[in-house]
């Protein structure tokens, strides 16, 4: 979902991210469709470079469904990914299988198949009872985890049939009011898991009613052998003024990439990616109210502000500070380039609107342990 209107010219943190370095172009060529990428990686910050973008998915259909409202992304193996739909109205909840790769000319993305997400009884979920926002492909490829902002919830689905297998417990205070302290459409927007599948992070887009404005909680789940995920800790994450936390990528050693996004009418979007870490961070599970500027909040360092990337031939259907920008909601870490860098993919959610674009981006970054 979009964040509330915010001041686009709020204070920016221009601190290079520790452990992240400028990337370069990939050596494997790809034939981008409906894209206007730079001829080689274009620096956006001291820590990231734009490999390119593609609008090839915008306003397309597959098997009678609109490839639209993509709000989460998960890379499953080289050249393949999954994209979750942020359901519109009563349309079926669904996940698209994508071809996704990055090359010297930018990313290539195409929808290959679609899977409808179903309740345990086999009937489809719709936008009325599943507002899909976060997606994790579990190790082995047989199941996926999907977070919904509706209650909120985290459900496990069979990756092949789409039928629900299980649902993870959610602490009571994370429920939407009046059941808990969360606000409607401001709950589990972000979902990420470590590569070994032992740790899962669910990030709140907005604060609980008891916490200060801009202070969002990240809920950590742990899984031990033979048991499913259980809530283990909570962390405080403070976004820039007016921005929401919309996606996470889990790194090694408790590291996270955090995607912050906002929108201002007549101005456009803000899209910033930060490096943060839960290593030795304070667990705020027992803290009733976290104030702004609390020492417990996770430290963060700017990786890239997407507005600082070269436009690279992009066009926008609505006012934007940089035509490259749109309503970015999904983020996933891809494979390595020949020079040891990582590809970081982003995808924007067009909300089914003619004035917004489904756009896939590829950035080159370096992530060290």
How big is the chain by its Cα radius of gyration, in Å? 19
Kindly state whether residue 242 falls inside one of the protein's structural domains: yes
Q: Is residue 204's pLDDT more than 70?
A: yes
Kindly state whether residue 9 falls inside one of the protein's structural domains: no
Amino acid 103: pLDDT: 76
Q: Is residue 19's pLDDT more than 80?
A: no
Mean pLDDT along residues 73-82:
97
Q: Residue 178's beta-bridge partner residues? A: none
Q: Residue 80 belongs to a domain with what CATH number?
A: 2.120.10
Kindly state whether residue 6 falls inside one of the protein's structural domains: no
Q: Can the peptide bond before residue 152 be classed as cis, meaning omega within 30 degrees of 0?
A: yes
Q: In sequence order, what are the residues at sequence separation of 6 or more whose Cβ sits closer than 8 angstroms to the Cβ of residue 96? A: 62, 67, 70, 82, 83, 85, 111, 112, 113, 114, 115
User: Nearest to residue 360, comparing CAs of 249, 351, 350?
Assistant: 350
* Domain total of the chain: 1
Kindly state whether residue 182 falls inside one of the protein's structural domains: yes
Q: Residue 92's beta-bridge partner residues? A: 126
Rounded percentage of the chain residues whose pLDDT exceeds 70: 89
Q: What is d(CA 70, CA 135) in angstroms, rounded to the nearest whole number?
A: 11
- The answer to whether the pTM exceeds 0.75 is yes
Domain that includes residue 121, residue range: 42-365
């Amino acid at each position: 979902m979009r964040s509330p209107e915010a001041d686009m010219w709020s204070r920016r943190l221009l601190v290079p991210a520790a452990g992240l370095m400028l990337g370069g172009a990939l050596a494997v060529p790809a034939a981008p469709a409906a894209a206007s990428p730079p001829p080689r990686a274009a620096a956006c910050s001291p820590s990231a470079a734009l490999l390119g973008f593609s609008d090839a998915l915008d306003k397309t259909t597959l098997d009678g469904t609109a490839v639209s409202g993509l709000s989460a992304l998960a890379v499953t193996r080289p050249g393949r990914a999954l994209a979750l739909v942020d359901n519109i109205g009563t349309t079926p909840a669904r996940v698209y299988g994508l071809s996704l790769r990055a090359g010297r000319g930018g990313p290539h993305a195409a929808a290959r198949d679609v899977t409808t997400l179903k309740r345990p009884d086999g009937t489809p979920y719709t936008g009325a009872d599943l507002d899909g926002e976060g997606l994790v492909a579990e190790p082995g490829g047989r199941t996926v985890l999907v977070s919904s902002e509706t209650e909120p919830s985290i459900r496990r689905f069979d990756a092949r049939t789409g039928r629900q297998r299980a649902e993870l417990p959610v602490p009571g205070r994370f429920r939407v009011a009046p059941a808990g302290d969360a606000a409607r459409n401001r709950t589990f927007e972000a979902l990420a898991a470590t590569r070994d599948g032992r740790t899962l992070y669910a990030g709140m887009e907005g604060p609980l009613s008891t916490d200060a404005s801009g202070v969002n909680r990240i809920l950590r789940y742990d899984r031990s052998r033979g048991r499913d995920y259980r809530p283990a800790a909570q962390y405080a994450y403070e976004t820039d003024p007016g921005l929401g936390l919309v996606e996470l990528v889990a790194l090694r050693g408790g590291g996270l990439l955090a995607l912050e996004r906002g929108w201002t009418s007549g101005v456009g979007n803000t899209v910033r990616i930060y490096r943060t870490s839960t290593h030795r961070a304070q667990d705020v599970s027992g803290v009733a109210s976290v104030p702004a500027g609390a020492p417990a909040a996770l430290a963060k360092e700017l990786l890239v502000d997407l507005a600082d990337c070269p436009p690279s031939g992009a066009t926008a259907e609505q006012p934007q500070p940089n035509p490259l920008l749109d309503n970015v909601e999904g983020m996933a870490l891809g494979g390595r380039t020949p020079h040891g860098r990582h590809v970081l993919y982003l995808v924007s959610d067009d909300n089914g609107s003619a004035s917004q674009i489904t756009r896939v981006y590829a950035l080159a970054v370096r992530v060290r342990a």
